[in-house]
Amino acid sequence: MDGDDGDPFSFLGMHEDSGCLLVRVFLPQASRVAVLRARDGECVGVLQHLDKAGLFAGIVEGRERYDYQLRATIGGDDVTLVDPF
């Protein structure tokens, strides 16, 4: 991923994949990223850190898309973010 994709929405964010939900995010500053279900704040998955550039991905609970937030550890602090994708 080098930042020149013409359609980042097709790769990043939440996607249905073979009956599962997959979330991919690009957070170069983060050391850890978890996905929280927006309606109740429950953690539905922790994303795997795939490369040094900051790509994280993983399967989360559920079978149909829903609103979510990200809980990222950045510089030792936990912050909650809205994923624009």
Domain membership of residue 21 (yes or no) is no
Domain membership of residue 81 (yes or no) is yes
Q: How far apart are CA 58 and CA 50, in angstroms?
A: 10
Domain membership of residue 72 (yes or no) is yes
Count up the domains in the chain and report the number: 1
Domain range spanning residue 66?
30-85
Which DSSP category does 45 fall into? E
Domain membership of residue 76 (yes or no) is yes
Question: Amino acid identity, residue 5?
Answer: D
Q: What is the mean pLDDT of residues 66-85?
A: 95
For residue range 11-42, list pLDDT tens digits in order. 799 999 888 999 999 999 999 999 999 999 99
Q: Report CA dihedral (14, 37, 74, 27) to the nearest 10 degrees.
A: 10
**0.85 exceeded by pTM:** yes
Domain membership of residue 25 (yes or no) is no
Is a pLDDT exceeding 60 seen at residue 3?
Answer: no
For residue range 38-54, list pLDDT tens digits in order. 999 999 999 999 999 99
Domain membership of residue 5 (yes or no) is no
Q: How far apart are CA 46 and CA 3, in angstroms?
A: 24
Inter-residue contact 14 to 60 (CB < 8 Å): yes
Domain membership of residue 16 (yes or no) is no
